[in-house]
Structure 1
Amino acid sequence: MAFAVVAHYRCAPADEATVRAALLRMRELTPAEPANLGYEVHAEVDRPGSFVLYERYTGRAGFEAHRETDHFGEFVVGCVLPLLTERTVTFAEVL
């Protein structure tokens, strides 16, 4: 069953460009993963430093494999997460 991830990220406006660049790099790299079905990055309108990610994978195992990639470690764990002031993640199965 397909697996979806919706993540809301917020950082200080001063860190917005850095977080945006890292998320856009993830958008370039993630679709090459075998289990990825889609990876969308959105900037919230009228809320500087706020992003929404919508990701789809063939299943939860595919998402877990995504978290083990070098690019996830470099761009999300190493760059984005330390700059966030708020983070919520919702996991869902596609009906």
Structure 2
Amino acid sequence: MAYAVVAHYRCAPADEAAVRAALLKAREATRTEPANLMYEVHVVEGEPGGFLLYERYADREGFEAHKAAEHFREVVVGVVWPLLTERTVTFAEVI
């Protein structure tokens, strides 16, 4: 069963360009993962520094492999997360 992740990220407006660039870099690398079905980065309208990520994987194991990937650790954990002021993530099985 497919597995979905919806992440809401917020950063200071001054960090928006850096977060955006890093998320786009992460998107390109993630889309090459075997279990990745979709990875979309959205800018939240009317919310400076607001991003919404929608990700789909073939299964939960595919998502766990994504979290273990070098590009996830380097770009998301190492660059994006330190710049965030808020982060919420929802996990769901696709029915």
Whether TM-score is above 0.5 comes out as: yes
The TM-score with structure 2 as length reference comes to 0.98
Q: How far has the Cα of 1:27 moved from its partner?
A: 1.2
Q: Which runs of 5+ in 2 are unaligned?
A: none
**What corresponds to 1:73 in structure 2?**
73
- Partners of 1:31 and 1:6 lie apart in 2 by 16
The TM-score with structure 1 as length reference comes to 0.98
**What corresponds to 1:89 in structure 2?**
89
Moved over 3 A (4+): none
**What corresponds to 2:63 in structure 1?**
63
Q: In the TM superposition, what whole-angstrom CA distance separates every residue of 1:25-75 from its partner, at most 9, and x where no partner exists?
A: 011111110000000000001111000000000111100000011110111
- Partners of 1:27 and 1:77 lie apart in 2 by 14
In the comparison of the two structures, how many residue pairs are matched? 95
Identity, in percent, stands at: 72
RMSD over aligned Cα, in angstroms?
0.5
**What corresponds to 2:42 in structure 1?**
42
